Structures are given as structure tokens and as C-alpha cells.
Chains A and B, each alone.
Chain A
Amino acid sequence: MRRRPWAIGFVIFLGLVLSGGGYAAATNVVQAEVSSADQVAEGRKLFLANCASCHGSNGEGAIGGPSLIGVGAASVDFQVGTGRMPGQASGPQLYKKPVQFTEEQISAMAAYVASLAPGPAIPDAEYLRTTGDDIDMTHGSELFRINCAMCHNAVGAGGALTQGKFAPALGGVTEKHIYEAMVTGPQNMPVFNDANLTPEDKRDIIAYLKYVEEADSVGGYELASIGPVAEGLFVWIFGLGFIIAITVWLGAKAN
């Protein structure tokens, strides 16, 4: 049986399209809203003006900036929506700073980047709820301890990583941005895709974090929730310091 050489190439191509497309279809959240052609065009304009110098004029990446093909709308919404992008300076990790764009502009850029290739979409409001009977905070707190606390600390106070990288504190981060961070893995964070943590799991984690953030502290001032180091410093500086002041008072001559 004779085969033409191109037939093999065609079979490989077909296999790749099927498996790749199937994978993409299976792993992607359905795009939350269908973006209009206008929005994409507007987004492309903003992209060319603000992002293309690092990420390439078609989002293919360039020196200093990774490719944005397939990162999805969620990634843009997180990076630009928290002010990390456009980046200020290169370094081990980008810091949060005041947001540079309006909601509409961010949505337009997100729509443009999403139009390049399928990727994680901006999460549905359903998964950003923090109250409701179906929310299991105990489950969320357990998942947080197992998956997140080793970098972000048990109550999300943040922590250090190697070579100047760090896991930021989670207080004050919106539900949407927490979700997007989990699904896109910004900067040094790993991706927690839907096979790893289901959208419901992510919702439970967010509900736990919001509980910790909003609940009144039961034991008094929390000393930044960074654990025994703060407690030790406190007892030496203020506890013992105050008591030494008392000893000096008691030891002073009464003349």
C-alpha cells in the first residue's frame, strides 16, 4: 500500500487539531460574554499603544514580555485591573500600583487578548458569591491551607519566595481578582485550573478569605497576623519595656 508523503503530514495535522482543539474545548470556561467586534478593535488600539512594546504588536511576546496568546481575558483583567500592568520596571516580581485604565478600557483589552486564542475567561458572578447555603467555608479553609497557605500564610498575610519574589497579602483583593489569579497563575503563582480546583472549590476558598478579612478579631489587635515573630517582638519591646519602666519607678529613691 502506497502513501503519499503529505498524507502522513496531514494525519499528524489532523491529530493535532483534534487533540488540541478537544483539550481547549474541555479545559476552557465558556466565554462569559460575547465581545463585539468594536470592542475588540478598541482593545487592539489600546493594546498597540500601551502593551505592544513588550508583548509584541500581535501579542506574540517580545524582549521583556511574554506572549499573550491564549492567556485569556481573565489574565488581562487581573494584571491590568490590579495595576500590575502596564509594568513599571522589570524585576523579580511586579508590585500592585494604582490602576491605569477604566473598566471599559480593561474590558476592551481583555476582549482583544481573548480574541487571539481561547483562554480563561473573566469568572461568572455565580462563583464570586461569598454567602449562600451551598458555600462550604470549612472546605474552603481546608483547601486554602493545603494549596495556598504555604506561600500566602494561613490567613493570607503574604509570604516570601526565593530571590526577591513574594506571595502578596490577600487582604483587600476583590473576589474576581482572587478567582482570576487562581485560574491564570500570574507571575510566580501556579495555575489552579478547573480540574485541580473546581469553580465551586475556588468559590469556597474566596468565601473563607472574605470571612477572615471581614470578621472581627476575637482576641484583640492582631499584630498583623504574622504569627509568633510579631508576638515575640511585642513582648520584648512593649511588655518587658513597660515592666522595666515600672521597675525603674519602684527602684527610684524616694527623695
Chain B
Amino acid sequence: MSTNTEQKPTTFIGGAANYLDERLSLGGVLKNFGRKVFPDHWSFMLGEVAMYSFVVLLISGTFLTFFYQPSMASVHYEGSYAPLKGAEMSIAYASSLDISFDIRGGLLMRQVHHWAALLFVAAAGLHMLRVFFTGAFRKPRELNWLVGFFLFLAAMGGGFTGYSLPDDLLSGNGLRIIDGMLKAIPFIGPSISSGLFGGEFPGDEIVARLYSLHIMIIPALIIVLLAVHLMMVIIHKHTHYSGPGKTDENVVGFPLMPVYVAKAGGFFFLVFGVLMAIAATFTINPIWNYGPYDPSPVSAGTQPDWYIGWLDGALRLAPSRMDVELLGVVLPFGVLLPLVISLAFLAVVAAYPFIEKWVTGDDREHHVLDRPRNAPTRTAIGAAGVMFYAVLWAGASTDLIATNFQMNLNQVLTSMQILLIIGPVIAYWVTKRACLALQRKDREIALHGRETGRVVRLPHGEYIEVHEQVDKYELWKLVDFKDYQPTLARPNAQGKITLGSKIRAALSSFYFEDRIAPVSKAEYELAHADHSPAPSVEKPKRKPRELVGKK
């Protein structure tokens, strides 16, 4: 690629760069890639936090593999933790104890690995919420939403398989619940369970199998999905929030080289540093407290890590005594119902971009993000989903809520069951009303400016309140959004109105019946007819300071 051979580089770095460029054509890649423009906003860094946590997981996890032994063979513990000396346990648990007590830096590595795992899934979850509430999943990014969704599932899977490796009492109880859920599946469940555990629970295979999943298959899956996820970000370019000069045809921000390379590099070390500081000061998963796994005891306060909590909560909140016997097979609906509901919830999350696109019928590309208030129904659906998830999540800690707040466990459970059903409805309604009210406020401010509270008496005796007009930048944010209107069911080529189009029309009116239209130019001019000076609604002439990348 490098044809410009007249100029010979004189410095060492220049020479090295030229050497590489002549052999690998790096110049072209760097030129394209380095000039990639990214917008600047704090909420765009949440996915980055997840990625950096994953890097920390890889580093600390590699350390742990040097010392951990995934074997369920029985040994007598001879390490330094006094209350377990001589106790019979699996090699897996004994080696986890050795990492914690007898290997230099082992406990810090265990703790940073576990804290990083919690942060990984939390940051990924928050990133997903940001993408949802700003509408960043719209065309052309629907597929990337799916990739992200599977990344989130893989992260949960990675977490759960890792949580089970120390073979302590707590993680064994977690596996027992998985075993129970598998066995609840009619007809094929018991076979799946014995296939997974290599016989009856707990067997002596499961830890080694989970280990293979945890250190090879799931990380490989995450790396591949992450690569696809990031590649799609490069292909689609990053979205940006609405503002003057920001359109669906451009990206406004700073180039990757050198601004974002420096920023992201620094940010990685900040995330790493925060994780190390937490790991050095706060205990996580003190496996020595729980003791070796034994199928008979279950300790009070047995919970999974937070990201599995909502599934545990679903089990806890399901009513008991729902077993039905059918054709000689018992169907335990107390277990099957939570299983089906959780899977249905995940399916809706995965399918949401496609559902919304079908309802709006909007085939345009969207690179400018929505303010959540400007998509009231979507925001309200999101809030309902968050509420549903949160109640299930809190459901996993009913016993701790009861103990720590001195409440009646049964009443806590019943309240949560009720909240699980009415909570999302309330959240939907409140959020939608709040969004519409905020939109009305925006409209009011765009048309009439902010109330200043200054009342002035004019020379002829009239009192007026002085309104302060917003500047052009602010105004742009208030008026720049798409206005959808409910569509009607239309007959197809055969002149029939299909059921599908009826459902679509019903959903469309559900989405867009209550809406606040953005301020139009005519309205704006009318409102400012007797005020002076009226700011223009045209695009501001001055270009923003940042670089405008080509689409």
C-alpha cells in the first residue's frame, strides 16, 4: 500500500511504523479506523465498563486456574483454616480454600474475580437499559440488540457456572435448585438432569463439567459475541443524542485516535482500580463460612448471585400446591410456571426491537437517540419490565427483608406476589403520565420560555410575567423528535382486513393514541409573533466545536 517511498523516516518510531506499514498495510487501517468518530456522553460508557470488567475477569481467572482443581474426589482438609481442619471435602473445595488461605494473593484474586463478575453483569444490564430507553435498538441496530441480549445471557451463564465451582454448601444448594428445575420438566426433565450431573445429583462429575463450560466454552462465546457486537458498532457508527447539527446522517464527536484511545485506556485502569479497591476491602463469597457441600444442610440466607436472583425470586413467589397429575406424570406448576414466565420475559426482551418496528412500520434508519420522554409508551413498557424484574429480584431476598426489617415472612411474600402483578401496571401508568407531562412542559418551554417569577408592571398599568426564552441549543433538544400517529387497519390486495393488521392497528393505537406532538415551526412563530426578539428555529449557522464525521 505504501507507495510514497521518497520520504524516508528519520526517527526510530517512524522507521518502525514504516517497516510495519510496508509489510502489513497498517497505515490504511489506522487512517480509517483512527478517524472513526465517537460521541461523548457518560451513558455511552456503560458497555465499556462491562467490557473492562470482562478483561479483569480474564486476567484474574487465569490466575485462579493455576491453583484450582475441578475434582469432586474426597480429601481431608489440611490447610490453615482452623474450623475445617480434618473435615472431609472435595478437592475442588479444598483447593478453593487453599487459594483463599494458603496461596499468596489468592484471596485477593478470588475476590476481584467475583466482584468483577458482579460488576460485569450489572454494567451490561445497565447498558441494555440505556439502549432500550433511548431507542438505540432501532434500525439498523436490531441485530446488535440480539447479540447484546445473548451476551447478557452468556454473562449470566458464566457467572452461574463460576459460582458453583468452589463446591461449597451455598453453591451446592444453588445446583440443587437447578437440578430440581430440570427434573420438573415433564417427561424429559429427569433424563436431562442425569445427563448433566452424570447420574443422580450431586454425582461426582458436575464440577469438572461446569469448569469446562466456565473456562473455555462460555468465555469463548463471550469473546466471539463481543467481537461481533463491537464490529457492528463500527459498521453502524455510534448513535448520538439530539442537538444542533446532529442528524441521522452524521455522527458528532471526537475521533478514536487519539482522543478515545487515551480516554478508553485510562478508563480501563480506573475500572480495574475500583475493582481492586473493592476486592481488597470487602469480603465476597466467604466460602469458608459455608462449609463443604453436603446434600442435607441448607443454610438460612441461601441466595444466588444478584443476576440469578430474579429466577430464584420467581420460584419463591410462585404459589405452592399447584401440582397436577396428568397421564401418570406429576406436573409441578410451582416450578414450571416460574420457568415458563422467566423464559417468556426473556423472549419479549429479545424480540422487543422487532415488535416495535412492526407496530410503527418505520423503515428509516435512526442514529439520533430518543429522549425517553419522547417515546412515552416505550418508556412506560420499559418501566413496567424493570418493575417486574425488580419485584422478582427482591423476591429472592424475602427472608432477609423479613429478618432485617422485623417483618412477617409470609406477609412479605404475599405483598410481593401482589406487587408482581400490579406493580408493572402502576409503573406503566405512572411512567407514561410522567412522560406526557414532561413533553407538555417541554412544549410550553419551547413556545413560551421559562417562567422567571419576575412580574413587571408596564407603564400603562398592565402586569406581565417575564418569560425567559431558551437558547437555540436548548430549543433544538426540545423540539427535535419524531412524531408517530396511530395507523389504521388497512385491507390488503384481496380487500380483506387480516387479523394481523387488526392486531397491528390495535397496538399502534396503544402506542400512539396519547401523544404530544413536537412544536411545529408555524406554532413557534405564532407564539413568538408579539414577542421580541424571537430566536429563529432554523438550524444554527455556527457549527458545533466537535468534529462532524461523514456518514
Cβ contacts under 8 Å, A157 to chain B: 300-301
**Could you tell me which residues of chain B, from 301 to 333, have a CB within 8 Å of some CB in chain A?**
301-306, 309
Q: Does A173 contact B (CB under 8 A)?
A: no
The segment from A35-43, A71-79, A133-141 found at the interface with B is A133-141
**Could you tell me which residues of chain B, from 268 to 283, have a CB within 8 Å of some CB in chain A?**
270-271, 274-275, 278, 280-283
Q: Are A231 and B42 in touch, CB under 8 angstroms?
A: no
Which residue from B44, B282, B297, B306 sits with its C-beta under 8 Å from A221?
B282
Tell me how far the C-beta of A233 lies from the nearest C-beta in chain B, rounded to whole angstroms: 8
**Could you tell me which residues of chain A, from 167 to 195, have a CB within 8 Å of some CB in chain B?**
167
Q: Are B123 and A243 in touch, CB under 8 angstroms?
A: yes
A150 to B487, CA, bound (A): 58
Cβ contacts under 8 Å, B118 to chain A: 231-232, 235, 239
A164 to B84, CA, bound (A): 34
Which residue from B87, B281, B309, B404 sits with its C-beta under 8 Å from A220?
B281
Q: Mark B388-414, 1 if CB is under 8 A from A, else 0.
A: 000000001111101110111111000
Q: Are A154 and B291 in touch, CB under 8 angstroms?
A: yes
Tell me how far the C-beta of B76 lies from the nearest C-beta in chain A, rounded to whole angstroms: 10
Q: Are A229 and B303 in touch, CB under 8 angstroms?
A: yes
Q: Does A102 contact B (CB under 8 A)?
A: no
Q: Does B263 contact A (CB under 8 A)?
A: yes
Cβ contacts under 8 Å, B403 to chain A: 158-160, 166
A235 to B111, CA, bound (A): 12
Tell me how far the C-beta of B53 lies from the nearest C-beta in chain A, rounded to whole angstroms: 9
A224 to B46, CA, bound (A): 29
Q: Does B126 contact A (CB under 8 A)?
A: yes
A217 to B280, CA, bound (A): 12
Cβ contacts under 8 Å, B105 to chain A: none
Q: Are B82 and A142 in touch, CB under 8 angstroms?
A: no
Interface size on A, residues (CB 8 A): 59
Q: Does B85 contact A (CB under 8 A)?
A: yes
**Could you tell me which residues of chain B, from 12 to 66, have a CB within 8 Å of some CB in chain A?**
40-46, 49
Tell me how far the C-beta of B413 lies from the nearest C-beta in chain A, rounded to whole angstroms: 10
Q: A145-B297, A239-B118 are in contact. Are A138 and B87 (CB under 8 A)?
A: yes
Q: A166-B402, A251-B42 are in contact. Are A235 and B87 (CB under 8 A)?
A: no
Q: Are A163 and B408 in touch, CB under 8 angstroms?
A: yes
Q: Are B122 and A240 in touch, CB under 8 angstroms?
A: yes
Q: Are B45 and A251 in touch, CB under 8 angstroms?
A: yes
Q: Are A162 and B409 in touch, CB under 8 angstroms?
A: yes
Q: Does B286 contact A (CB under 8 A)?
A: yes
Q: Does A17 contact B (CB under 8 A)?
A: no
A58 to B286, CA, bound (A): 50
**Could you tell me which residues of chain A, from 218 to 238, have a CB within 8 Å of some CB in chain B?**
218-223, 225-229, 231-236, 238
**Could you tell me which residues of chain A, from 188 to 227, have a CB within 8 Å of some CB in chain B?**
208, 211-212, 217-223, 225-227
Secondary structure at chain B's binding surface: helix, strand, loop or mixed? Answer: helix
Cβ contacts under 8 Å, A150 to chain B: 297-300
Cβ contacts under 8 Å, A141 to chain B: 83-84, 87, 291
Which residue from A154, A159, A219, A250 sits with its C-beta under 8 Å from B42?
A250
Q: Does A2 contact B (CB under 8 A)?
A: no
Tell me how far the C-beta of B284 lies from the nearest C-beta in chain A, rounded to whole angstroms: 5
Tell me how far the C-beta of A137 lies from the nearest C-beta in chain B, rounded to whole angstroms: 5
Q: Mark B92-124, 1 if CB is under 8 A from A, else 0.
A: 000000001100000100010011001100110
Q: Does A117 contact B (CB under 8 A)?
A: no
Q: Mark B483-496, 1 if CB is under 8 A from A, else 0.
A: 00000000000000
A146 to B236, CA, bound (A): 57
Cβ contacts under 8 Å, A243 to chain B: 49, 119, 123, 270-271, 274
Q: Which residue of A lies closest to B271 (CB)?
A: A243
Which residue from A153, A222, A236, A238 sits with its C-beta under 8 Å from B301?
A153
Q: Are A234 and B407 in touch, CB under 8 angstroms?
A: no
Q: Does B249 contact A (CB under 8 A)?
A: no
Which residue from B46, B107, B396 sits with its C-beta under 8 Å from A218?
B107
| Candidate in A163, A219, A234, A240 with the most chain B CB atoms within 10 angstroms | A219
Q: Which residue of A lies closest to B296 (CB)?
A: A146
A137 to B82, CA, bound (A): 8
Q: Are B286 and A222 in touch, CB under 8 angstroms?
A: yes
Tell me how far the C-beta of B481 lies from the nearest C-beta in chain A, rounded to whole angstroms: 22
Q: Are B409 and A223 in touch, CB under 8 angstroms?
A: no
Q: Mark B359-379, 1 if CB is under 8 A from A, else 0.
A: 000000000000000000000
Q: A223-B283, A251-B41 are in contact. Are A154 and B267 (CB under 8 A)?
A: no
**Could you tell me which residues of chain B, from 326 to 373, have a CB within 8 Å of some CB in chain A?**
none
**Could you tell me which residues of chain A, from 97 to 142, have a CB within 8 Å of some CB in chain B?**
137-138, 140-142
Tell me how far the C-beta of B267 lies from the nearest C-beta in chain A, rounded to whole angstroms: 6
Q: Are B286 and A236 in touch, CB under 8 angstroms?
A: no
A234 to B301, CA, bound (A): 16
Q: Are A228 and B40 in touch, CB under 8 angstroms?
A: no
Which residue from B122, B123, B294, B309 sits with its C-beta under 8 Å from A145?
B294
A161 to B278, CA, bound (A): 33
Q: Does B170 contact A (CB under 8 A)?
A: yes
A220 to B283, CA, bound (A): 5
Which residue from B43, B83, B302 sits with its C-beta under 8 Å from A138?
B83
Q: Are A250 and B263 in touch, CB under 8 angstroms?
A: yes
Q: Are A160 and B399 in touch, CB under 8 angstroms?
A: yes
Cβ contacts under 8 Å, B150 to chain A: none
Q: Are A167 and B300 in touch, CB under 8 angstroms?
A: yes
Q: Apart from A231-B118, A240-B126, A247-B49, list 18 A-B contacts with CB within 8 A.
A: A137-B82, A140-B83, A141-B87, A150-B298, A153-B300, A154-B299, A154-B300, A162-B409, A163-B410, A219-B284, A219-B286, A220-B111, A229-B303, A229-B306, A231-B285, A235-B306, A239-B118, A251-B43
The contact sample of 19 A-B pairs, CB cut-off 8 A, is A138-B86, A145-B299, A146-B297, A154-B299, A157-B300, A164-B411, A211-B83, A218-B107, A222-B283, A228-B285, A228-B304, A228-B305, A231-B285, A231-B305, A240-B122, A240-B123, A250-B267, A251-B43, A252-B42
A-B residue pairs, 6 tightest by C-beta: A159-B300, A232-B306, A219-B283, A251-B42, A164-B408, A160-B402
